[in-house]
Amino acid sequence: MKLNVKRKIILISIVSHLFVLAMLGIIFYGEKIFKNIIIPISLVVLVVQTVLFLIWWRCPHCNKHLGRYIKDFNYCPYCGKELDELYDD
């Protein structure tokens, strides 16, 4: 999978998670379902997103993490090779 596709998946998942959490917070604020179900599920989703970010956001050549900012990189800041190419996970 191309690195830019992975970047888009990570960004979409983070934004959608925050949006859904905000909407559920508005709807169920102060109710037990929010505290007992929605927050734990949200934390699990956040952990999964973090793991995906740590695994996927790496240079396909040197395997170094590209940093915490998800922006368009054309070349790896460590090895200088082009990032947007196909590689196996």
C-alpha separations of 77 from 1, 8, 17, 20, 58 in Å: 20, 20, 29, 34, 11
Beta partners for residue 75, in sequence order: 82
Q: What is the mean pLDDT of each run of 10 residues along the chain (89 residues)?
A: 76 85 79 77 84 83 79 78 65
- Could you give phi then psi for residue 88, rounded to 5 degrees? -85, 140
Asked if residue 75 lies in contact with residue 81, where contact means CB atoms within 8 angstroms, the answer is yes
Query: Where do the structural domains in the chain lie, given as residue ranges?
Result: 1-89
**pLDDT at residue 87, rounded to an integer:** 52
Q: What is the pTM assigned to this prediction?
A: 0.60
